[in-house]
Amino acid sequence: MSQADKAKIFAALHVKGDPLLLYNIWDAGSARAVEKAGAAAVATGSWSVAAAQGYSDGEALPLDLLVTVAERIAATVNVPLSVDFEGGFAETPEQLIQNAARIIAAGAVGVNFEDQVVGGEGLHNIEAQTARVMAVCRAGEAAGVPLFVNARTDLFLKEQDRDRHADLVEEALERAAAYAGAGASGFFAPGLVDPDLIGAICEASPLPVNIMMMAGVPPIPDLAGLGVARISYGPGPYREAVKAIADRFSAIRSG
């Protein structure tokens, strides 16, 4: 199967009301395990990939190393691969095109691409981020791969007071529309947990919506009923796996 074919299959898995489940992985071994368990696709989480290599999140992991990890995953599994690209490891559209091309060449058919200013404050304004999303999409076009750009907004994740999330819905939808116009394929709203707000986003978004499982998020059947098209797990799987290893060693050592 060609990379372009995998990209088309991956896009088709995003169905409103019948969400794609992505139990985020961090290396070839975890990807193979999830694939063998029946996953239709695999997706990395930036926090997990960084932590597995001894780095903190936020593009502290060198891009060269991320590319190597992506290459090994793509060579190990047969299902489509999406890579958490964070903020693209660049500011300018020109550099973003080059960096995204490397992720595609590694075998990815999708990327998460966020609008927060990595290493800085706040979010890129809508105009600037729209140009950045367009650049990442252009890299896919140049490679002949219909890259699934999952445009992430950090509006909700950065606002710790969930009572204020309703005030952010209008801007979130404005961003969703702008990112869709730039060629994005999906809209990712991590940190959003309120079912009414999730439903409102799903109803009005021009793109299939991705919600991240975390404390307070409704269960999968409820998310499906709200119109969610993709459910991911972020750093949770890595944290659980590492805890299981530590707990097992503690049990052996103590007894």
Please report the domains of the chain, with CATH numbers, ordered by start residue.
3-254 (3.20.20.60)
Q: What is the pLDDT of residue 255?
A: 81
Is 212:25 a contact under the CB 8 Å cutoff?
A: no
Tell me: pLDDT of 45 over 90.
yes
Give pLDDT, residue 213: 98
Give the strands of the sheet with 110-114, arranged side by side: 20-22, 230-232, 209-212, 186-188, 148-152, 110-114, 81-84, 42-43
CA-nearest of 69, 83, 2, 61 to 29 is 69
Banded model confidence at residue 72, pLDDT cuts 50, 70, 90: very high
Q: Which pLDDT belongs to residue 77? A: 98
Instruction: Report the 10 Å Cβ neighbour count for 51.
Output: 18
Indicate the DSSP class of residue 186: E
Which burial class, exposed, middle or buried, applies to 9 when counting CB atoms under 10 A from its CB (0-12, 13-18, 19+)? middle
* Residue 234: closest CA among 209, 206, 215, 208: 215
Structure tokens at 252: 């052996």
The residue with tokens 């058919």 is 109
- Measured in degrees and rounded to the nearest 5, phi and psi for residue 22 equal -120, 105
Q: What percentage of the chain carries pLDDT values higher than 90? A: 99
Query: What is the DSSP track for 44-96?
Result: B-HHHHHHHTT--TTT-S-HHHHHHHHHHHHHH-SS-EEEE-TTTT-SSHHHH
Q: For residue range 142-196, list pLDDT tens digits in order.
A: 999 999 999 999 999 999 999 999 999 999 999 999 999 999 999 999 999 999 9
Average pLDDT, the chain: 98
**Could you say which DSSP state residue 217 is in?**
P
Q: What is the mean pLDDT of residues 50-59?
A: 98
Task: Write out the two tokens for 130.
Answer: 């729209």
- Kindly state the percentage of the chain with pLDDT values over 70: 100
What's the gap between Cα 20 and its chain centre? 12
pLDDT at 245: 97
In the predicted model, what is the mean pLDDT of residues 230-250? 98
Q: What is the pLDDT of residue 155?
A: 98
Predicted confidence (pLDDT) per residue in 198-212, tens digit: 999 999 999 999 999
**CA–CA distance, 48 with 33 (Å, rounded to integer):** 16
Question: What local confidence, expressed as pLDDT, does residue 17 receive?
Answer: 97
